Amino acid sequence: MKNFTRRQVLMAGGLAGMGLAGLLSTGCGSDSDTGFVQTTSVPLAPEFDFPQPKFVASVDGFLDTEMTIDFAENFIDDFRLFTRTYEGTIPGPTLRLGQGDLLRVRQINQLPPNEPEQAGFTHNRPHNLNTFNFHSHGWHVDPNGLSDNTFAKFEPGTTNSTVIQLPTDHHEGTFWYHPHTHGSAAEQIAGGMAGFLIVEGPTDLVPEIAAAREVLMMIQNIRVDDNGQVPEFDSSAALRDSDQSFFLVNGKQTPTLRMRPGEVQRWRICHGSIRELLDLQLDGHSLHQIAQDGLTFSAPTDRERILIAPGNRVDVMVRAGAPGTYVLRSIDDGFPAPTGQVAVDLVTVVVEGEPLVMDLPTQLPGTPSLQPITDAEIAASTAGPNGNGKRVIAFVVSQGAAGFNGDPNFETAFRMAGTGETPPTTVPAGYDPNAYADFTQQPAVCVIPDILPPDSDPTWGLFNPNVINHTLEIGTVEEWTICGTDHPFHMHINPFQLVAINGVRLDPPIWADTVTPAGRTLTIRFRPTEFTGDAVVHCHVLDHEDTGMMQKIRVKK
Ligand SMILES: [Cu+2]
């Protein structure tokens, strides 16, 4: 650990009576047990009983931990869940590290053997639901070997280690881990398999942030049948009458968070779910956003509402107003997209007790490891199949695709198309890749036939692990247009800069790793750095990803 982290400052400042060894041990502890996040002498909320995930933290630059993955019982009031979990809990334990730290997670797969593959098996269907791997969502790390390897398979009855070296200049902030095996991610995450990855760093040392209580909020949409078990999803992952959908925050339904009037807290919010957009707002309060997807801004941005897709994280500072009861909720008023958002109460915030005087931060360290990508660089780029640094990504939904495998549960196909060096299979009649490379007519570039001709290859545009859809080169820059649909776009390994929405420039652009078009056309720019190897881009509606809405990228030197 080269840079100071808040934990080091804590250590330097002494932890009277707290027992440093116990505090920083790799055993699990809860925040309320250890006071780990209590970094200030200011008396905060009178009773802080908000549920927080258990955590493990690195010691001397190394976090070595072990997790057992098995079915476990958890309860929402009297309703019994029986789902795949990390360590038996929803969410799994939080893993806290510093920049430059090494993470090793031994994962013991105690799940039962997978169901045998049925006749007519295709890998773009839910399958091998008890096989998983470990994805460090948002981390800029090696995608190969034991590291953030999306193609690894941890089979039932085996123990596997994930070993990830964080670069010393790695962006600090709020990230999350979850399984990412094609065919089983949605069912596993819908049952609760997700946990925070926190990378500590300079943002934690901003005085107003260091003084604020840190509150983790893992939002999970648990989708189960009436027996509390995750069903095998069909192509719409639709809920049947007997199914249940719960939005939990740290494993609880609408838990209560107490604040004192004037108290400032730092909330790390993660949408650790498989689908649905959340349009966050807190009654009567502004959300002072300091980071998106773990990437710290250079100054806070005041937001009345923040639209997040599954996979997104937002860090916000909140200053409690007058005593009273408020709700952190997601609203659905049909904006910006007519569909996709969900209205749900997430956290009840009770403001009570003696007032406090606390300040909001005005300056932030930004994310120095990310260099903005200029118009001139894009204009000069010769990267990609068109030789101009530009590509189009189109999410294509073939609804009721006639003859699509003849499977009534999967009559809708979720495809990714647009610019591609190697279209996976026969290009269907009427599809001209060059027709979608005209960047002067947005969003017309995104017009792609919904329903394919009957004689087209039904696997066209579906994930094929043997095909590299996009070859990227270290150090080059690219600009991609993500077409206006409802599918959140996530790129592994390298964050990107969202520079325009519907062709209108954002000032300033926003770094992210997941964006939601919500019916809009998005323009992103990125620069692959440091890590070569294979990874993926995909729709972060994870049942879409499992059924084929994913492409393989290869980063070369
Ligand atoms: Cu999708």
Q: Give residues with Cβ within 8 angstroms of 280, minimum separation 6.
A: 269, 287, 305, 306, 307, 308, 314, 328, 329, 330, 346
- Average per-residue pLDDT for the chain: 86
Interval between CA 236 and ligand 1 midpoint (Å): 10
Interval between CA 12 and ligand 1 midpoint (Å): 47
Give pLDDT, residue 438: 38
Tokens of 114: 């997978």
Question: Which residues have a beta carbon within 5 Å of ligand 1, which is an ion?
Answer: 487, 539, 541, 544
Interval between CA 321 and ligand 1 midpoint (Å): 38
Residue 443 scores a pLDDT above 60:
no
**CB–CB of 135/148 below 8 Å?**
yes
Q: Give residues with Cβ within 8 angstroms of 36, minimum separation 6.
A: 23, 29, 55, 57
Residue 177 scores a pLDDT above 50:
yes
Give pLDDT, residue 48: 76
Name the strand (E) or helix (H) holding 376: helix 375-380
Give pLDDT, residue 460: 77
Give pLDDT, residue 3: 40
Lowest mean pLDDT among 22-36, 288-302, 531-545: 22-36
More confident position, 27 or 522: 522
Lowest mean pLDDT among 78-87, 317-326, 517-526: 517-526
**CB–CB of 167/100 below 8 Å?**
yes
Work out the percent of the chain whose per-residue pLDDT is above 70: 83
Interval between CA 273 and ligand 1 midpoint (Å): 13
Separation in Å, CA 468 to CA 144, 183, 541: 15, 19, 21
Residue 42 scores a pLDDT above 70:
no
**Residue 398 — very low, low, confident or very high, per pLDDT cuts 50/70/90?**
confident
For residues 125 and 82, what is the distance between their CA atoms, to the nearest angstrom? 23
CB atoms closer than 10 angstroms to residue 248: 24
Residue matched to tokens 């010691």: 59
Lowest mean pLDDT among 126-130, 254-258, 295-299, 397-401: 397-401
> Among 191, 194, 195, 282, which residue's Cα sits nearest to residue 245?
191
Residue matched to tokens 């639209």: 307
Average pLDDT over residues 448-461: 62
Interval between CA 548 and ligand 1 midpoint (Å): 9
For residues 260 and 320, what is the distance between their CA atoms, to the nearest angstrom? 7
Q: What distance lies between CA 333 and its chain's CA centroid? A: 24
Give pLDDT, residue 448: 57
Strand partners, 67: 107
Interval between CA 221 and ligand 1 midpoint (Å): 16
Radius of gyration, alpha carbons of the chain: 23
Cα of first residue to Cα of last residue in the chain, in angstroms, is 28
**Residue 483 — very low, low, confident or very high, per pLDDT cuts 50/70/90?**
confident
3-state SS record for 502-545: CCEEEEEEEEECEECCCCCCEEEEECCCCCCEEEEEEECCHHHH
Interval between CA 173 and ligand 1 midpoint (Å): 26
Average pLDDT over residues 497-503: 92
Strands 135-137 and 173-178, by their bridges, are antiparallel
Interval between CA 486 and ligand 1 midpoint (Å): 7
3-state SS record for 130-165: CCECCEEECCCCCCCCCCCCCCCCECCCCEEEEEEE
Interval between CA 140 and ligand 1 midpoint (Å): 23
Separation in Å, CA 302 to CA 11, 44, 155, 233, 319: 33, 23, 45, 38, 12
For residues 210 and 4, what is the distance between their CA atoms, to the nearest angstrom? 13
Interval between CA 485 and ligand 1 midpoint (Å): 9
**Residue 273 — very low, low, confident or very high, per pLDDT cuts 50/70/90?**
very high
Average pLDDT over residues 48-56: 92
For residues 198 and 140, what is the distance between their CA atoms, to the nearest angstrom? 13
φ and ψ at 542, to 5 degrees? -75, -20
Residue 476 scores a pLDDT above 70:
yes
Question: Exposed, middle or buried: residue 453 (CB in 10 Å: 0-12, 13-18, 19+)?
Answer: exposed
Interval between CA 213 and ligand 1 midpoint (Å): 36
Separation in Å, CA 61 to CA 34, 66, 100, 140, 177: 21, 17, 7, 17, 19
For residues 535 and 490, what is the distance between their CA atoms, to the nearest angstrom? 11
> Among 467, 134, 138, which residue's Cα sits nearest to residue 271?
138
Separation in Å, CA 201 to CA 5, 6, 73, 173, 264: 5, 7, 36, 7, 20
What count of Cα atoms within 13 Å lies in the side-chain half-sphere of residue 174? 26
Interval between CA 333 and ligand 1 midpoint (Å): 21
Separation in Å, CA 429 to CA 73, 416, 452: 50, 16, 8
Interval between CA 433 and ligand 1 midpoint (Å): 21
Strand partners, 280: 306, 330
Read out DSSP for 31-83?
Answer: HHHH-TT---SS---S--------EEE-BTTEEEEEEEEEEEEEEETTEEEEE
For residues 510 and 165, what is the distance between their CA atoms, to the nearest angstrom? 26
Interval between CA 49 and ligand 1 midpoint (Å): 37
